[in-house]
Chain A
Amino acid sequence: MRRNGPLALIFHTIFVIIMVAPILVVCLVAFTPEGFLSLPTNGFSLRWFRAIGNYPEFIRAFWVSLGLGALSSLVALLFAVPAALAIARHRFRGRDALAALFLSPLMIPHVVLGIAFLRFFTSAGLGGSFAALVIAHVIIVFPFALRLTLAAATGMDRTVEMAAVSLGAGGWTLFRRVTLPLILPGVISGWALAFIQSFDDLTMTVFLAAPGTETLPVRMFLYIQDNIDPLVTSVSACVIAVTMTALILLDRFYGLDRVLAGKGDTGR
């Protein structure tokens, strides 16, 4: 195949700089020694990272986000793994419609979901509660959990299962000792991707969060609405660091292009 010409490489360089610039500038400003927004031209300082300690609402929001992401991804998997096994292995009437329904949260704007859940949970007397947040997040991360589990279940070698069946394994033992270990990489990647989606969601959560249950993106958003100062850049830098770590692990473990493209989908 032909190489990229000089023009193509110049385009590529500018493209990558523009893609990285906003993220880089946030991380740089976070290290400023000044009391106002500025690039750290006079040396680096951690004062704005230490300043986070004086804002307990950011710390609490971080823990809410972490717990919410971990719990809702786990619950989503409890529902998604059996559903993925059914969709991957059985041809039954309504299979395509079910798959479409389970992936539909990807197509519905999050602002619509936020409104629908706000209305629903307020009428159910759960408005602003952590339980409502968990249920809502289970729905929005479900497609990601399902897709990666589905890919693993579709690509699985089923002769091992047949061997186990011929040796007398059945039901729960078969699932726990044979099937689950075989699809585990897909399940774990599904959990990680679901966690990131939950951890980052703002649009839907901003409708549901109450002062005690604000997640980190919601807290950051409400803070930025009032004013932008170096504090919010240091918080953002921490968020970026957490996501980058998860991202690199996900890439090493599973391949980022596979995760994002959802290869081995329902055959679409």
Chain B
Amino acid sequence: MSMAADERNARAPWALTAPALMLFVGVLLIPLAMTVMLSFHDWGQYKGIEPVFILKNWHEIATDPYYAEMFWRTFRIAILTTLLTALLGAPEAYILNRMDGRWKSFFLLVILGPLLISVVARTLGWALLFGGNNGLVNKLLMSAGVIRSPIPFMFTETGMVIALAHVMMPFMVLSVWAALQRLDPQIENAAMSLGAGPVTIIRRIIMPQIMPGVLSGAIIVFSLSASAFATPAIIGGRRLKVAATLAYDEFLNTLNWPLGAAVATLLLVALVLIVVGSNALIERRYAEVFR
């Protein structure tokens, strides 16, 4: 279509996006605004929710060390999960990228496929593997002589981090994989012809170029881990709470909706700040890669 025709259709894009825009304003932005407002309402065991403006919930979260500990646990688990996926996922993406065509697409399917398999089923798998003191993982580690006594995995942060890392791993592999696709294999050959060894090549040539991929993968993994629900709920059990499972408890067990809304709002705001902030940092640091 020519420019003139496009100008005649100046209203067309708005007509085409209007239904979706109305949907998003009506059932996404308004509910989110209602949730933020809810966090300022009052609540009592017998009186229920009172639509007043009060800072009680925010004050409770700010002063009660229980919430500080819970948020610190949430972010600690997310950071460890991110580190684990980066340390294992980045080398795996590199190895995968050097495979022959058919093996490459087969293993890509095997590694990325779990992304679409129910999180409940995947976490159930870890619960079965961990399964108390004589779970398969412990039996395997003990017979291999790696450990003497069984490690408690169920209802611990260790177990949560391992299961979460498994759930999040495809995102990291995918992100590093995308960065590797932009990489020119000739640079590696050039470095080799100039006498660089494999360690030097990885450290000086590969690492700097895939770092943006690792970092953007890390942002995805971190924000999804910090707000994960199914895995912490199943592996962590009822006592080891993270932000998402605590909000769930406040909403569906204690029925203190305003407090649950405050926890959720804080999680949302913290994540948006962290994600937007680190995105800006990465883009400034690696401006030439994104250009």
Contact = CB atoms under 8 A, between A and B. Distances in A.
B110 to A, nearest CB: 6
Interface stretch (A43-51, A66-74, A182-190, A255-263): A255-263
Given A79-B23, A86-B16, A162-B1, A236 B120 contact: yes
A202 B24 CA distance: 21
A161 to B, nearest CB: 8
B131 interface: yes
Interface of chain A: mostly helix, strand, loop or mixed: helix
B127 A83 contact: no
What is the size category of the interface that chain A forms with chain B?
35 or more
Given A22-B129, A79-B19, A228 B118 contact: no
Nearest to B250: A115
B267 A105 contact: no
Interface in B208-253: 223, 226-230, 233-234, 243-244, 247-248, 251-252
Interface in A137-177: 138-139, 142, 158, 162
Interface string A65-94: 000000000000011101101110110100
Interface residues of B, number: 90
Nearest to A22: B125
Contacts of A239: 117-118, 121
Interface of A: 1-5, 8-9, 11-12, 15-16, 18-26, 29, 37, 78-80, 82-83, 85-87, 89-90, 92, 95, 98, 101-102, 104-105, 107-112, 115-120, 123, 135-136, 138-139, 142, 158, 162, 196, 199-200, 202-203, 206-207, 217, 220-221, 224-225, 228, 232-233, 236, 239-240, 243-244, 246-247, 251, 256-257, 260-261
Q: Which 5 interchain pairs have the tightest Cβ spacing?
A: A22-B125, A109-B227, A120-B31, A86-B16, A116-B31
